[in-house]
Amino acid sequence: MDNSPPIHVSVMLDEVIQYLDPRAGQTVVDGTLGGGGHTRALAERVGPTGLVIALDRDSAALTAAERNLAGLPVKLVSANFRELPEVLKQIEIPAVQSIVLDLGLSSDQLADPQRGFSFDAGGPLDLRFDTGEGEPAWRLIEKLNATQLADLIYTYGEERCSRRIAHHIVDGRAKEPIRTARQLADIVRRAVPRGRDPERIDPATRTFQALRIAVNDELGSLEEALKNFGRCLVLGGRVAVISFHSLEDRIAKEVFRDDPQYEALTRKPLRPTEAETGRNPRSRSAKMRVAQRIL
């Protein structure tokens, strides 16, 4: 087993602490444990009389946290954050003071060649957070036709060249099964040369995003979770959502605006400081929205 410490750097940690204001003795939730940075910071503030309930679907993250967070007031739970009401019921906690969701991939996941999150990984094109649930991305692209693939890539990846990419995938899999992240990334790069993208991101970025969202039902999980979090929070309790693309941010914005149980505390999403993006370039696309339970 890999005993190396996590390499992930938690995003907007100062803002999370500022808005959630965790205090000694409180019970709070980190719905996306990941590398454990937010969990650690919360645990240090609630202290030995408090508790952080940390959820994750990734067994590797939970295993690492058992070691890296030992001695802190943390309860680790293998679950999707959409299952929080059931989790709290099982451990007989009626409500918590705050909840944080960091929806980004952790650097530890990107570094694992067997998960397929890194474009150049030679391992399986999986993309699942919980490898024991659902089907891997390679199986999804194997069974969908060109129209279905194009629709998925456009809807979840907001990719303008979705049809061209889909046809290249279909042509590519007819010659050789697509089983690795590297194979798929190469196909997408041939379909969409980097020079045509004014944002200068890797041409494979949006396609991988779309497949990851699809195999993990990420948008469905987020919308369901936010609508149910109100009954998990004490009156006045707060929830913070850190998102990394417009689809997630739109869901948080609309739920916090339209659901009467919430009052949005951030009219516009908070962004990382220049100092943070300098230290951690992966934080550049992060947006944080915060709401408070009022009903």
Q: Would you state the structure tokens that stand for residue 227, as one six-digit string?
A: 């609508």
Residue 49 CB neighbours (<10 A): 9
Domains and CATH numbers, the chain: 13-108+218-293 (3.40.50.150), 113-216 (1.10.150.170)
Q: Are 125 and 183 in contact (CB under 8 A)?
A: yes
> Measured between alpha carbons, how far is 26 from 42 in angstroms, rounded to an integer?
10
CA distances from 287 to 142, 224, 228, 237, 272 (A): 34, 20, 21, 20, 8
pTM of the model: 0.92
pLDDT (tens, 9 = 90+) of the chain, 295 residues, equals 455 555 568 999 999 999 999 999 999 999 999 999 999 999 999 999 999 999 999 999 999 999 999 999 999 999 999 999 999 999 999 999 999 999 987 766 666 777 778 887 788 899 999 988 899 999 999 999 999 999 999 999 999 999 999 999 999 999 999 999 999 999 999 999 766 545 568 999 999 999 999 999 999 999 999 999 999 999 999 999 999 999 999 999 999 999 999 999 999 999 999 999 999 998 999 999 999 999 9
> Measured between alpha carbons, how far is 280 from 282 in angstroms, rounded to an integer?
5
